[in-house]
């Protein structure tokens, strides 16, 4: 079988062929002889080309987290190539919450002009204050949240229009 995955935005393709208890894995024209030594939920011990190794893993929402020799890797299913259609809201004009947090204060009104680096809002998480600043000079066209509101990571906070001079 062919297994495709994505780690750190890099696509990989592995061919796995079983012969009794052994598996031949092929990755980028390189062959590996693999044997499963032990396995239990969240743990797999392998022998790969004569080297015994232990990996820990967990899964959530289609992602597999793998820990190997002190490093953690997040293995995702390959995503389809993004469409060429330019996303309607690109880049730095929109600002999203960097983490789940509570909005403590919004320090600007809609339609106001903001300069790059100006504090637009204050978020709070775990008693730390997080200052959200304007990434560019521009007009604040839209504010999506209000003080006291809880926001998720990646949630839209506000939008700037850079074309205003």
Interface residues toward another protein, by CB under 8 A: 1, 3, 5, 7-8, 10, 12, 14, 16, 18, 20-21, 23, 25, 27, 30, 32, 34, 36, 38-42, 44, 46, 48, 53, 55-60, 64-73, 75, 98-101, 104, 122, 124-131
In 3D space, the residue among 48, 49, 55 whose CA is nearest the CA of residue 70 turns out to be 55
Distance separating alpha carbons of residues 26 and 33, to the nearest angstrom = 9
Compare residues 86 and 127 and give the one whose CB is closer to another protein: 127
- In three-state secondary structure terms, 47 is strand
Sign of CA dihedral 99, 159, 105, 149: negative
| Contact of 30 with 15, CB cutoff 8 Å | no
Rounded to a whole number of angstroms, the minimum distance from the CB of residue 84 to another protein is 27
In 3D space, the residue among 100, 97, 155, 161 whose CA is nearest the CA of residue 131 turns out to be 97
Rounded to a whole number of angstroms, the minimum distance from the CB of residue 126 to another protein is 4
- In three-state secondary structure terms, 91 is helix
Compare residues 68 and 110 and give the one whose CB is closer to another protein: 68
Rounded to a whole number of angstroms, the minimum distance from the CB of residue 150 to another protein is 9
Compare residues 40 and 81 and give the one whose CB is closer to another protein: 40
Compare residues 80 and 163 and give the one whose CB is closer to another protein: 80
């Amino acid at each position: 079988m062919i297994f495709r995955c994505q780690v750190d935005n890099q696509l990989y393709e592995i061919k796995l062929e079983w012969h009794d208890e052994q598996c031949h894995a092929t990755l980028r024209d390189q062959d590996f002889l693999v044997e499963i030594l032990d396995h239990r939920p969240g743990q797999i011990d392998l022998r790969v080309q004569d080297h015994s190794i232990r990996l820990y893993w967990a899964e959530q929402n289609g992602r597999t987290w793998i820990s190997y020799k002190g490093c953690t890797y997040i293995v995702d299913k390959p995503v389809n190539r993004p469409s060429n259609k330019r996303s309607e809201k690109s880049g730095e004009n929109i600002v999203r919450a960097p983490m789940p947090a509570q909005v403590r204060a919004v320090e600007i009104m809609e339609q106001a002009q903001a300069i790059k680096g100006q504090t637009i809002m204050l978020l709070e998480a775990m008693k730390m204050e997080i200052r959200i600043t304007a990434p560019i000079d521009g007009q604040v066209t839209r504010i999506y949240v209000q003080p006291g509101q809880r926001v998720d990571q990646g949630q839209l906070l506000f939008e700037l229009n850079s074309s205003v001079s």
